[in-house]
Copies of this chain bind each other. A is one copy, B any other.
Amino acid sequence: MAPPAEQRGSAAHVLELVASGAVASRADLVRELGLAASTVSARVQELVDLGLLAEDGEGTSRGGRRPRLLRIPDDGAVALAVDLGSHHVRLGAVTRTGAASDTEEHAYDLTEGPEPTLELLAGRLSGLAARQRAAGRTVRGVGIGFPGPVDPDTGRVVAPARMPGWHLYELRDRLAERAGLPVLVDNDANVMALGEHAAVHPELQHLVLVKAGRGIGSGVISHGRVYRGAGGAAGDISHVRVEAAAERPCSCGNIGCLETVASGAALVVALRERGVPVAGAADILRLVRDGEPEATTLVRQAGRHIGTVLSVVVNFFNPQAVLLGGALAEAEPMVAAVRAMLYERCLPMTTGQLTIAAASSGPDAGLLGAGRLALRELVP
């Protein structure tokens, strides 16, 4: 059932199926891929020889010979992963088995421009790489989720709002040079969507992941692949005009955007206006967990706004799942409000089979996606 990343039965496809647990033996692969047993056997043998796949004992018989189980071996390869936010950066190492380790998070300001960011990343990554190597691991490369539009072919940042100096910055090449490692960059929501899809819902063909943090972004998986649209800008929902935002000016230069009423940044401002002192999304989360009424109401209201916009997306795109990621998705009222709006506003035909849930890989979702991206693209 899993959708082909490249082609049916390609190395990447086989590895993904095994990694996600969708298949456990050669016979499973035959059923899943629809290829001849001989073909599957040859392909698997190849991957075993390369060390990308391993045999792991035998399973239980289903009335005949026991299957020889397959698993993704931890071959010691890691990708360094970076989840870049506008006011924080999270780093870690990700193995082929999909585990994040050695994670660290730093506060800092992306709007200070690309050079300080490059400096910070290069420093942290070099430390991370050294520690990983000392632990006997091979560092394959770096995967980055960036909170703005990225051209994934060139690894350049494109026209981000509110980030002076970043336009057309060659983040990939600059960092690759500094770090001495291959680097891959993509939009943060895309990266998170990729990670959630591969790790949690590999059987789904079409899903939307909304990243609700300081800003709002979304990553789209269509036919099992990241959908980018004509100009690589697909998935933007934060600059949709909503009634409640009225004439509020937005960083994009327009007015009334969703972002101005439903983003983490907007909630921080709104809470401060109401006399509730908060510094960031983490504070909001804490208040919501403690049942602080102002914060809870605002988060729920933000969820309604996001749900309103998503209802159009769901009717139009008819996905199998809407996943909510980012800091705000950890607040229950946010998820509940989105769910309520979608069930109320969308056609029964589209919501009948629709999963609406918080992203299940939690705070490391972006990290895992970025790591997976790098490990996938940089096959041995």
Contact = CB atoms under 8 A, between A and B. Distances in A.
Interface of A: 149, 158-159, 205-206, 218, 220, 222-223, 227-237, 239-241, 243, 252, 254, 308-309, 311-313, 315-320, 345-350, 352-354
A233 B312 contact: no
Q: Chain B CB within 10 Å — which of A149, A206, A218, A312 has the most?
A: A312
Nearest to A252: B347
Given A230-B320, A231-B352, A349-B149, A315 B222 contact: no
Contact of A239 (B206, B218, B222, B347): B347
Contact of A237 (B205, B218, B220, B315): B315
A370 to B, nearest CB: 22
A230 B318 contact: yes
Contacts of A309: 312
A166 to B, nearest CB: 14
A234 B354 CA distance: 13
Contact of A312 (B313, B319, B348, B349): B313
Given A241-B311, A312-B309, A312-B312, A319 B229 contact: yes
Q: Chain B CB within 10 Å — which of A222, A227, A236 has the most?
A: A236
B317 A349 contact: no
A233 B347 CA distance: 9
Contacts of A218: 316
A223 B225 CA distance: 11
Given A240-B312, A312-B316, 4 more contacts: A206-B230, A235-B318, A241-B345, A316-B317
A207 to B, nearest CB: 9
Q: What is the oligomeric copy number? A: 2
A221 to B, nearest CB: 11
13 contacts: A159-B349, A206-B229, A223-B223, A230-B318, A230-B354, A231-B350, A231-B353, A236-B347, A237-B312, A240-B312, A240-B315, A243-B243, A312-B316
Contacts of A320: 230
Given A223-B223, A311-B240, A316 B234 contact: yes
B313 A350 contact: no
A350 B349 CA distance: 29
Contacts of A354: 230
Given A231-B352, A233-B347, A349-B233, A239 B315 contact: yes
A353 B230 CA distance: 8
Contacts of A237: 312, 315-316
B353 A236 contact: no
A188 to B, nearest CB: 17
A180 B188 CA distance: 54
A317 B352 contact: no
A215 to B, nearest CB: 14
Contact of A350 (B236, B254, B312, B345): B236
Contacts of A236: 315-316, 318, 347, 350
5 closest A-B pairs by beta carbon, nearest first, are A229-B318, A234-B318, A230-B320, A312-B312, A233-B349
Given A223-B223, A349-B158, A313 B311 contact: no
Nearest to A341: B241
Nearest to A351: B231
Contacts of A345: 240-241, 254
A317 B314 CA distance: 12
Given A158-B349, A350-B236, A222 B230 contact: no
